[in-house]
Structure 1
Amino acid sequence: MRSTYAIKDFWKETYKTDSPIPFIITAQVVVFLVVHLFKLLSDTENMSTSVYAWVFEQGSLPNSFAHFIKQPWSILTYSFLYANIFNLLFDCLWLYFIGNTFLNLLNRRQFLTVYCGGALLGGALYLLFNEFPVFSSNSPYLNTSSMALGALIMSTTTLVPRSELRLFLFGNVKLYVLAAIFLILQFGYFFLNDKTAAISYSLVILTGYLFMQALKNGKDWSLVFKKRQKRKLKVVHHAAKRYASTNKQNELSNQEVIDGILDKISADGYESLTSQEKETLFKASKED
């Protein structure tokens, strides 16, 4: 009975929330296990053609548009493939900590815009640059979640650069320090192994920075994906007009408060906020 309750509590606390992070991490782990199960089967049955290699290739993003047309799903699957478990664990840890920092300040729609947008934009740029011989990649395909993760890390760091993460051996470390180390190392890896991916990665990071700068200036790019409710024709009385006018003024006033809180975070970090300001920011993100 206790184990049943424990499983239910885990499911409720992990998956029945507004956070998409558990679903992304679960998908990455499941894909890793399934793909490497094919590798195990190929090794034990001594197949002439490795099923693992075929599945891995089909899920990876090819370095030519002509090849991509034959497997268009790879623009979605390439960011879920991992060749070894250490890269998987490392990226999942980054996604967990940085993603939750992002969601503590902003909403789910904005998170998905940055993360999924980074993956799709990175893949599209990779295909585009490979069409030019001067940028053509030596690698046959691309498989990494670093495009999405890079956009997320840059956006979060732009919003709260002085936020801190507690590391086991080093104590509290500023987010901008960790972000700089991660982004530079990842860019260096791409530059040495796949210069086309390095160029695409740089532009994705820049886009993550521009997204957050635009948001600070009151322009939310993620609103493109917000569902618009159909307006119904109805009789509007003068009292309703006065209420609508008052409601509009309240919305503008609330937006000014949120903008002020975001400016304070950018200048002094999330820790500088009062409990009331944190609650206001949290409520605003849920309302969006």
Structure 2
Amino acid sequence: MNSNLLKDLKYKVFQSGNPVFFYIGINVLIFVVFALLNIPFFLSGKGGVMYDALIREYAGFPASLSKLPTRFYTIITYQFFHDGLWHILFNMLWLFWLGNIFLDFLKPRQFHFVYLAGGIAGALLYLLAYNIFPVFAEVRPDATVIGSSAAVMAVIVATATLLPDYSMRLLLFGEVKLKYLALAYIVLDLIGIASKDAGGSFAHIGGAVLGFTYIKLLKGGADWSKIFKRKPKLRVVKNDSGKQTGRKQNEGVNQEEIDRILDKISKTGYNKLSKQEKETLFKASKD
């Protein structure tokens, strides 16, 4: 049974092709491994060494410009480390809920881009803020940020921008439209700028800006995620006249048609789509 469970988890994380499971799996795996490694430090009375002296120093993204030449890689690594159980739990729950909605309408390639670029945008805004505003001058030399919150925020805002009137049921609140959910998070982060966790709030806002900008440009026909797109393969086929022609193996669905369907979903909901429209959307998500 345990063997089957591990095989199932391995398949979902690494072989299913679902980026939501992939990022959740990687984040949870890293958290569990380092939490276990932290046990000897805790028992020896040096519980803070693992996170403060090792993870934050070598995997967290620094606010100090002088550290970047030797910590340049942290713009990626900081997105996969978390400061406690509640930190990772809430991030992974929101990534699961909103990420799967995202993938109902867009491609895995686009999800990869939004997640990673959202984390990068969050780190850059954090760096900019801590080096511009005088209030952070005293803490800047040792300040770092860790967590996938900026990346998750990019996914949340991207999904809400794509489907603003899509509703999800929340405990105690009932049905809430995604546009109000995203707005609430942004307002909380703006308030959080004037708190001790200002770095995290700046990172979240950076991720939100990336998610919003990506979807707006996507609707205008510009897809930044194409940097991850593989070159389409050509195959030889015969037409009716017997001549051979080259054709792309996976011809894309008309973008204008996809935009029309997405607009219809945002106004009337997914269930109002015709069978043909649902098939068109499914085909586009697999392209």
Offset at 1:158?
0.8
For residue 270 of structure 1, what is the aligned residue in structure 2?
270
TM-score normalized by structure 1? 0.82
User: Which residue of structure 2 lines up, in the alignment, with residue 43 of structure 1?
Assistant: 42
In structure 1, distance between residues paired with 2:286 and 2:30: 31
1:130 Cα deviation (Å)?
A: 3.2
Amino acid at match of 1:29: V
SS at match of 2:254: helix
Contact 1:216–1:262, Cα closer than 8 Å, also in 2: no
User: Within 1, Cα distance between the matches of 2:4 and 2:38?
Assistant: 36
1:285 to partner: Cα distance:
1.6
Percent identical among aligned pairs is: 35
Aligned partners of 2:20, 2:124: CA distance in 1, in Å?
23
> How do residues 72-87 of structure 1 correspond to structure 2 at under 5 angstroms?
72-87=72-87
Which has more helix, going by share of residues?
1
**Aligned residue in 2 for 1:181:** 184
Question: 1:168 Cα shift?
Answer: 4.1
Q: How many Å separate the matches in 1 of 2:261 and 2:152?
A: 25
Determine the structure 2 residue equivalent to 1:209.
212
Counting only pairs closer than 5 Å after superposition, residues 145-224 of structure 1 correspond to structure 2 as 145-195=148-198, 198-224=201-227
The more displaced of 266-275 and 23-32 is: 266-275
One-letter code of the match for 1:61?
Answer: F
Deviates most, 20-29 or 178-187:
178-187
- The residue identity in structure 2 corresponding to 1:40 is I
1:55 aligns with 2:54: yes
Runs of at least 5 residues in structure 2 that lack an aligned partner in the other structure: none
Cα distance change, pair 48–99 in 1 and its aligned pair in 2 (3 A): closer
Flag the 1:159–1:48 CA change in 2: closer, same or farther, 3 A: closer
State how 1:272-287 maps to structure 2 within 5 Å: 272-287=272-287
Q: Is the alpha carbon distance of 1:48 and 1:27 closer, same or farther for their aligned partners in structure 2, counting shifts above 3 Å?
A: closer
**Structure 2 match to 1:107:** 107
Q: Is the 8 A contact 2:150 2:206 kept in 1?
A: no
The count of residues paired between Structure 1 and Structure 2 equals 281
Residues 48-92 of structure 1 show CA distances to partners (whole Å, capped at 9, x for unaligned) of 992442222221111112112222221112122222211211111
Q: 2 CA distance for matches of 1:257 and 1:264?
A: 11
Q: Deviations over 1:120-158 (max 9, x none)?
A: 121123223433354746461111222111111111001
User: Offset at 1:203?
Assistant: 4.0
Name the CA distance, whole Å, in 1 between partners of 2:177 and 2:208.
19
TM-superposed CA distance for 1:193, in Å, is 2.3
The one-letter amino acid paired with 1:84 is: G
Shift of 1:199: 4.4
1:259 aligns with 2:262: no
Give the deviation of 1:253 after TM superposition. 7.7
SS of residue paired to 1:161: coil
Give the whole-Å Cα distance in 2 for the aligned partners of 1:231 and 1:146: 40
Asked if the contact 2:189/2:202 (under 8 Å) is kept, the reply is: no
CA distance in 2, matches of 1:48, 1:243: 66
SS class of match (2:208):
helix
